[in-house]
Amino acid sequence: RGWAAFACTLLVVECLLAMVSEMSGLAAVGELWGVGRTAATLGSALIIVSVVFFCNYKQVEALGICFGLFELTFVATMLFYHPSLREVFQGAFTFHDDTGFIKLIAANVGAVVMPWMVYFQQSAVVARRVRSEDEVAQERASTLLGSGLTQLIMIGA
């Protein structure tokens, strides 16, 4: 019981901090589009709350996939840029010690590695009533594909 409460407490704190981080990003994007920070944050929060209260699991999943597909524009941009493979590999192993680069690396890691995703994956398996070994294998393959696609998008970004 103690470890479960501890893990749950950490998860709640992490989720709250992740939401603050996400909302600050949405506020910044709102400013880029000429929308004030307050309006962008409240509008985003309203959309999130509406989705949580009025959509079922399958609708939320479909909505997430649709929005997630927009990230493929980063991959398309990378492909249209025609980068030299030598420059890509050289850049992948070149590290800079300036603070801007370090902040960029920290932001990318923070955007991709989130502990709540493990809990979400577990709840998705339970929600889908995965029971057989074949279904578990299919979930694992889907997770592996999603992880690879995520890293491809991060490379394109």
Euclidean distance between CA atoms 149 and 113, whole angstroms: 14
Mean predicted confidence (pLDDT) in 53-63: 88
| One-letter amino acid for residue 91 of the chain | G
pTM greater than 0.85 (yes/no): no
Reported as type and span, the H/E element at residue 142 is helix 133-156
**Exposed (0-12), middle (13-18) or buried (19+): which is 90, by Cβ within 10 Å?**
exposed
User: What is the mean predicted confidence (pLDDT) over 82-86?
Assistant: 83
* pLDDT at res. 65: 85
What percent of the chain lies above the pLDDT cut of 70? 90
| Distance, CA of 124 to chain centre | 16
Position 110 scores a pLDDT of 65
Within 33-115, residue ranges assigned H as helices are: 37-54, 57-69, 72-81, 85-92, 99-112
Per-residue pLDDT, averaged over 136-157, amounts to 77
Tell me: pLDDT of 99 over 80. yes
Q: Which of 55, 53, 29, 54 is nearest to 41 (CA)?
A: 29
Q: Is the pLDDT of residue 151 over 80?
A: no
